[in-house]
């Protein structure tokens, strides 16, 4: 109204400089996609701080443009069907009823990776996933530097011997020979 009072007669808009009214640009979408690809556990807030745009825009880019959802890890016991449970019970009873104490003479061994990590809360384990990404809800990925290989030997009364493979050493045939020689001496 003010401009018409000042003498303007045209009702068409004047030319303006091209100015992007949103932060939802292809460049920002690509940046956010790269950030989430590098670390899928980041929060919307931390992504927004890296790209320097508001959180709501980041959330819309993630959910609408990239079609990504936040998924939390689920931990739960494995449930056996009744048939498998009964089979295990039968096998155990048969072994316990044997008269020759075969189980008392058996020593078995295995190796496993032992991880040292602080357990995450459900919120800390949340990851961004696309609709077609592989489902890794049950996996918790600990820090790789905090893992050690452990060789375990056990018998009916429990763990007979265990040894952590020293850092910078491999659990190969040479190492197992050393461990088995030590185990033989312990059994004698």
Please report which confidence band the pLDDT of residue 126 belongs to, taking 50, 70 and 90 as the band edges: confident
Instruction: Tally Cβ neighbours within 10 Å of residue 53.
Output: 19
pLDDT at 117: 62
Alpha-carbon gap, residue 125 to 70, rounded angstroms: 10
Strands lying side by side in the sheet with 158-164: 108-115, 147-155, 158-164
pLDDT at 47: 93
Torsions phi, psi for 129 (to 5 deg): -135, 140
Q: What is the mean pLDDT of residues 16-21?
A: 59
Question: Which of 141, 149, 171, 145 lies closest to 39, judged by CA?
Answer: 141
Question: What's the mean per-residue pLDDT of the chain?
Answer: 80
Please report which confidence band the pLDDT of residue 32 belongs to, taking 50, 70 and 90 as the band edges: very high
To the nearest 10°, report the CA torsion of 120, 145, 130, 25. Answer: 100
| Cross-strand bridge partners of residue 130 | 68
Domain ranges for the chain, please list them. Answer: 2-66, 82-187
Torsions phi, psi for 54 (to 5 deg): -70, 155
pLDDT at 158: 77
CATH for 2-66, options being 1.50.10, 1.10.10, 1.20.1070, 1.10.540: 1.10.10
Please report which confidence band the pLDDT of residue 132 belongs to, taking 50, 70 and 90 as the band edges: confident
pLDDT above 70 coverage of the chain, percent: 82
Please report which confidence band the pLDDT of residue 55 belongs to, taking 50, 70 and 90 as the band edges: very high
């Amino acid at each position: 109204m003010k401009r018409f009072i000042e003498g303007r007669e045209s009702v068409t808009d004047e030319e303006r400089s091209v100015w992007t009214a949103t932060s939802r640009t292809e460049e920002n979408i690509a940046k956010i996609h790269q950030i989430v690809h590098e670390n899928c556990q980041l929060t919307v807030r931390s992504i927004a701080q890296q790209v320097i745009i508001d959180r709501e825009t980041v959330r819309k880019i993630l959910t609408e443009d990239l079609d990504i959802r936040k998924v939390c890890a689920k931990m739960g016991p494995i449930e056996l069907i009744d048939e498998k449970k009964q089979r295990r019970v039968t096998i155990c009873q048969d072994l316990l009823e044997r008269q020759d104490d075969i189980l008392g003479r058996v020593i078995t061994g295995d190796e496993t990776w032992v991880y040292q990590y602080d357990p995450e809360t459900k919120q800390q384990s949340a990851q961004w996933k696309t609709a077609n990404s592989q489902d890794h809800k049950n996996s918790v990925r600990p820090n790789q530097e905090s893992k050690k290989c452990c060789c375990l030997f056990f018998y009916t009364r429990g763990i007979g011997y265990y040894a952590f493979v020293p850092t910078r050493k491999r659990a190969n045939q040479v190492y197992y020979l050393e461990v088995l020689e030590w185990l033989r001496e312990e059994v004698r």
